[in-house]
Amino acid sequence: MNTARPPIHPWRLILASASPRRRQLLQGLDLPVEITSVEVDETPPEGMPVQEVAEHLARKKALAWTGDLASDQVLITADTTVVLGEVLLNKPVDEADARRMLGLLAGRTHHVHTGVCLRHMRGMLSFTDVAAVSFRAMTEAEIGYYVERYRPLDKAGAYGVQDWLGHTTVERIEGSFYTVMGLPLHRVYSALHGLHP
């Protein structure tokens, strides 16, 4: 294995996320990554526009973290929401709810919002990246198969773009695939460039 260093800055990253997808993605930047987690109440504040929820929760997670940051460390938190029209689809509460959500998404285009917060010693910044995702129509049998086989109860909108449903049903994305997976890596990378230890 080649040991060339990535041509960016000296940051060490701390990812506060329980998502194995985010952990795997962030490691794709070739920077040192430490993993931690943080618990917050993810209920959106009443009356908040659905487009703002993901970034709000990412900031809330960053503020809830109680560890110490060295001058070369950046804490990264994120939250992903699925928005259909003006409706927020959270994680389904059970399999029936997952089937209901997929029935809503089938044959339509929805938006995935991933909010990201970068916290460092001198402050924090945050942003939202949005991607449009178009599903083809689905049969009841397909929805039933997916929910039974993949049990997408831990996923906003009840699907994973990197599994069977993403493989067979997503016709088109406009934006970043990685935003749909849960972390807009290109924007994390750019934002790190803008920080000065």
Give min distance, CB of 181 to a second copy, in A.
9
Location of structure tokens 């993403």: 166
Residue from 23, 42, 127, 164 touching a second copy (CB under 8 A): that is 164
Query: Per rule CB under 8 A, is residue 144 in the interface with a second copy?
Result: yes
Query: Per rule CB under 8 A, is residue 24 in the interface with a second copy?
Result: no
Q: Which of helix, strand or coil describes residue 100?
A: helix
Name the helix (H) or strand (E) containing 166: helix 164-169
CA distance 6 to 27: 12
79 carries an active-site annotation: yes
Nearer of residues 6 and 123 to a second copy, judged by Cβ: 6
> What are the backbone dihedrals phi and psi of residue 195, each rounded to the nearest 5 degrees, phi first?
-90, 145
* CA 75 remoteness from chain centre: 15
- Which of the residues are catalytic? 79
For binding to a second copy (CB under 8 A), which residues are involved?
Answer: 2, 4-7, 25, 28-30, 136, 139, 141-142, 144-145, 148-149, 151, 161, 163-164, 166-178, 185-186, 189-190
